[in-house]
Structures are given as C-alpha cells and as structure tokens.
Amino acid sequence: MSQPWAAFTDHIFLAVRLTPNGGRDAIDGVDTDAAGKSHLKARVTAVPEKGKANKALIALVAKSLGVAKSSISLASGDTSRKKTLRIEGDPEDLIRKLGALVES
C-alpha cells in the first residue's frame, strides 16, 4: 500500500479523508480509495460549516504529531471531504511520527 504523504525538503503533504460531525476526534488509520490513492482517515466532532471541521482537523493532526497548529495549513480541499494538508517541519521526523500514529 502506498503512503498518504509526500516528502519535500522542509515539509510534507498529507492526504486526508475527513468525516465531520463524526462523534469523536480521532485518526482511524490509512485507507485506499477506488483510484488506488492512500489517505489518512480522520473524524472530528465539529460540523462542516464556516471552516470549523477544517480547524478541528488541523488541531487533531497537530496534537497527534506534536507540532504547532501554525505549522499546518490546508493546501486543498476546503469544502471537500478529501483534503491535502501541508505540514512544515523535518520530513523524516514527521514521517516517523505519522508511521507510528497509523500503526497504533
């Protein structure tokens, strides 16, 4: 299975499929869509209006990876369930943390 991230020199892009109004804030592992692309499955309790679910997603990922919320931005998918996050930082460190997160 391919990984839901792509590494660059000072950041990574992370593909996410978000379920807003999901009953709890959690990361539910990695899944593959019909096209064969992997994405991180996440759910948040926030509703999908006025960017609340996007902000909750950023907070969840920041807390899970131990990085500042300010180092995460929404690269694409503002109103879609499928989103791409740009996470600033050392790519090797971020990938190691993501790997541990999805394996647990």
CA distance 45 to 20: 6
Threshold 0.85, pTM exceeds: yes
Residue 104's pLDDT is 63
Question: Domain ranges in the chain?
Answer: 5-103
Q: Look at the domain 5-103 and name its fold.
A: Conserved Hypothetical Protein Mth637; Chain: A; (3.30.1200)
- Spell out the per-residue pLDDT of the chain, length 104, in tens: 578 999 999 999 999 999 999 889 999 999 998 889 999 999 999 999 999 999 999 999 999 999 999 999 999 999 999 999 999 999 999 999 998 888 76
Q: Residue 48 in 3-state DSSP?
A: coil
From residue 44, give the alpha-carbon distance in Å to each of 21, 58, 78, 92: 6, 10, 15, 27
Residue 45's pLDDT is 97
Distant-in-sequence, close-in-space partners of 52: CB < 8 Å, separation ≥ 6: 20, 46
Residue 90's pLDDT is 95
CA distance 103 to 35: 23
From residue 48, give the alpha-carbon distance in Å to each of 14, 21, 43, 85: 20, 7, 11, 17
Element (H, E) at 96: helix 91-103
CA distance 24 to 4: 22
